[in-house]
Amino acid sequence: MKKTIIASLVSLAFTTSAYAEETVITTNDVTVKANRFEHKDTETTYASEIHTAKEIEESGAATLYDFLAQHSSVNLLSNFGNKATPSINLRGYGAENGYQNVVITVDGQRLNNIDMQPQLIGAIPLSNIERIEISKGSGSVLYGDGATAGSIQIYTKNKTGITASSSFGNYGQQNHYLTAGISEKYIDLSASLAHDGYDGASKKDETGHRDEFSSDTQSVKLKIKPNDNLRFLLEGTSSRNDIRYVNALTKAEFNDDPKQVTKRLFSQTYTHQGFDTDQWRAGIEFDINSQFKVSATHFREDKRSEFVNFFSESNYDYDSNEIALTYVGNELNVIGGVQAFEGDRTSTANKTTKDNKAIFIQTEYRPTWISDSLTLSAGARNEAVKYHYTPTIGTDLADSEHLDAWDIGANYRFTETFTMFANYNQAFQAPDVDRFFTFFGTFNAFIEPETSRTLNIGLNHITANNRLKVTLFHANLSKEIYFNPFTFTNTNIDDSHKYGLELQDSFTFSKQLSTSFIYNYTRSIIDREKDFGSAINGNDLPGVPKHTVVANMNYKFLDHANFNLNHTWRARAYAYNDFQNNAAQRQAHYESTNAALSYQFKNYQVFTSITNLFEHENSIQVADDAIYPVDFVRTWRVGVKADF
């Protein structure tokens, strides 16, 4: 049954039916601005994947995690039960460490942390998102530290009017939000409240709790426009998150009942984390003239992470600043500036800091004297990273690095429907502060930064009914950062490489029926690592599936009724700790079939959705008999939305 669904969706995505030829449907141009210059996505010099607000709404997804996991090429997994800060694998960097190899921004502000805490995407209400841009194998010039696999830029809406939505589902699911905004000549003001909750699907632990989750987020955004050339921006966001993580099961226990709770050491208690963040941003933009613009932004974030079971609490203070000058001309576009980040993490045992300071320049050139169809790009970045470790008892330690990133690219438009692009990118990842410590918390060493050089070659073919994007990539890495499960230390893989094929295709059969299809083939190979001798040379990096398929069909069967069917599948992989590729148990394949139905009546919408329709028991495999059940039950929800 499941194979039939997959085959049907794939067939829809690639079939050029006679009906489509008779019905001319114009595909909309998609605008991107990952490099700060706005273009059609087919005219960029880098690989991109775009998801619009229309796609997001039609998907029926309730959260950003659900949408990215089910409708994008990004391999997202609940982080041992935590969907707010999930595991992220892009371009073969692995489910365990991939989140540190991609920079995620919201309206230009980084979400990456200075330690091994993944980005908090659970505090971003899906309803507030205007567009998601996934830039692959590029972005290091503008985003710097951590953009080795690429970057994910999330842009939020400038809301006008009032929207209220509420939905409920099984396992105690709740998703509610309220957004309101006004847009006038001199002011844009919007605010939102959101709540996301889940009572858990696993059985109660000895304290009476399941694998529960709750998130409450409030945000406000104000833009003041005294005149056409001057803009002031002020934003504030507060989020409170409470998460309980499932314990590991043996293979026999998982096969018997993935909902059961087992003992962790001497306790049957789920790991309990509280994660709170308060952030604000202030900025100014001034158009000096029609070509030059200057901007300045300050960002402040205060976070608290507490693992209640372990009586462990850490407090974070982040400060970011950017000053940039932009020139937009007929043939040449240039943006350059400085960025600074100061990050502190304070606990009862120590205070650790990671400070980054960078200077960058990114250019685009359209040499019309050669061809109106050619776009060239080039950029460079230099970043200084400083670390300081101050223990409560012991000796202070410090280290520093100077790192470079650069990017060159080209795009050529052969016809109005066919373009090709290529770019070559150098990127780096400066180790996070946790990497300098062993699994037991003792100081290990200041390990080396990771560097990558990635070549991307791709094409875009856009017709009235079809959008096809294909990219080939190859990346050479030096000092890829990972955790050695045998020595319990963080260290570097001396040499490794990654390569693959990425295909995106969307086909519009009619105004009622459209399909999309994403396929990724990815290989991630360890070339040489001295810590293992020659035991892992030539092996696959654990946690990287070779194949990913995302198939989607959207059918508007009535003027006001919409049906969406989606299937996501990822191939098996080696367990997180299986660097020798010889463990008896492997990471099982991931699979989820999802459906959503909505009906619009005037300014009201009624909707319902089902995820994991066939109850595929998904999991995370760390080692033999260390399995964490995630996304393993069928869930449904129903709700209503109103616009005023």
Please determine, for residue 532, whether its predicted confidence score (pLDDT) is greater than 90.
Answer: no
Tell me the mean pLDDT in the region 577-598.
96
Query: Which amino acid is it at 604?
Result: Y
Please determine, for residue 9, whether its predicted confidence score (pLDDT) is greater than 70.
Answer: no
pLDDT, tens digit (0-9, with 9 covering 90-100), for 538-550: 999 999 999 999 9
What is the residue-wise DSSP string for 292-332? EEEEEEEEEEEEEEEEGGGTEEEEEEEEEEEEEEEEE-SSE
pLDDT, tens digit (0-9, with 9 covering 90-100), for 469-497: 999 999 999 999 998 888 888 899 999 99
Residues above pLDDT 90, as percent of the chain? 75
pLDDT score at 264: 67
Residue 562's pLDDT band, with cuts at 50, 70 and 90, is very high
Q: How far is CA 70 from the centre of its chain?
A: 12
Residue 103's pLDDT band, with cuts at 50, 70 and 90, is very high
Please determine, for residue 10, whether its predicted confidence score (pLDDT) is greater than 60.
Answer: no
The whole-angstrom separation of Cα 212 and Cα 311 is: 19
pLDDT score at 6: 43
Bridge partners (DSSP) of residue 175 are 167, 196
pLDDT score at 349: 83
pLDDT score at 34: 66
Tell me the mean pLDDT in the region 147-151.
96
**C-alpha triplet 551, 614, 262: angle, nearest 5°:** 120
Residues above pLDDT 70, as percent of the chain? 95
Q: Which of 41-45, 202-206, 378-382, 582-586 has the lowest mean pLDDT?
A: 41-45
Phi first, then psi, for residue 337 (nearest 5°) are 175, -170
Residue 610's pLDDT band, with cuts at 50, 70 and 90, is very high
Per DSSP, helices labelled H in 458-558 are none
pLDDT, tens digit (0-9, with 9 covering 90-100), for 406-420: 999 999 999 999 999
Tell me the mean pLDDT in the region 152-164.
91
Q: What's the whole-number average pLDDT of the chain?
A: 91
Q: Which of 51-65, 369-383, 427-441, 511-525 has the lowest mean pLDDT?
A: 427-441
Q: Which among 180, 176, 218, 178 has a CA at the least distance from the CA of 197?
A: 176
Please determine, for residue 5, whether its predicted confidence score (pLDDT) is greater than 80.
Answer: no
Query: Which amino acid is it at 294?
Result: V
Please determine, for residue 249, whether its predicted confidence score (pLDDT) is greater than 90.
Answer: yes
pLDDT score at 21: 40
Q: CB under 8 Å to 257, separation ≥6 — which residues?
A: none
Strand duo 82-89 + 75-79: pairing? antiparallel
Please determine, for residue 266, whether its predicted confidence score (pLDDT) is greater than 80.
Answer: no
pLDDT score at 16: 40
Tell me the mean pLDDT in the region 338-357.
93
The whole-angstrom separation of Cα 102 and Cα 53 is: 22
68 or 42, higher pLDDT: 68
What pTM was estimated for this model as a whole?
0.91
Q: Which of 26-30, 268-272, 402-406, 568-572 has the lowest mean pLDDT?
A: 26-30
Ordered domains of the chain (ranges, CATH)? 2-643 (2.40.170.20)
Tell me the mean pLDDT in the region 127-136.
92
Tell me the mean pLDDT in the region 368-379.
93
Tell me the mean pLDDT in the region 516-527.
97
Residue 629's pLDDT band, with cuts at 50, 70 and 90, is very high
pLDDT score at 4: 45
Is 517 in contact with 551 (CB distance < 8 Å)?
yes
Is 240 in contact with 215 (CB distance < 8 Å)?
yes
Please determine, for residue 136, whether its predicted confidence score (pLDDT) is greater than 80.
Answer: yes
Please determine, for residue 74, whether its predicted confidence score (pLDDT) is greater than 70.
Answer: yes
Please determine, for residue 20, whether its predicted confidence score (pLDDT) is greater than 60.
Answer: no
pLDDT score at 265: 65
Say if residue 425 is exposed, middle or buried (CB neighbours under 10 Å; 0-12, 13-18, 19+): buried
pLDDT, tens digit (0-9, with 9 covering 90-100), for 24-58: 444 456 777 767 778 788 889 999 999 999 999 99
What is the residue-wise DSSP string for 3-43? HHHHHHHHHHHH---HHHHHS--PPPP-EE-TTSS-EEGGG
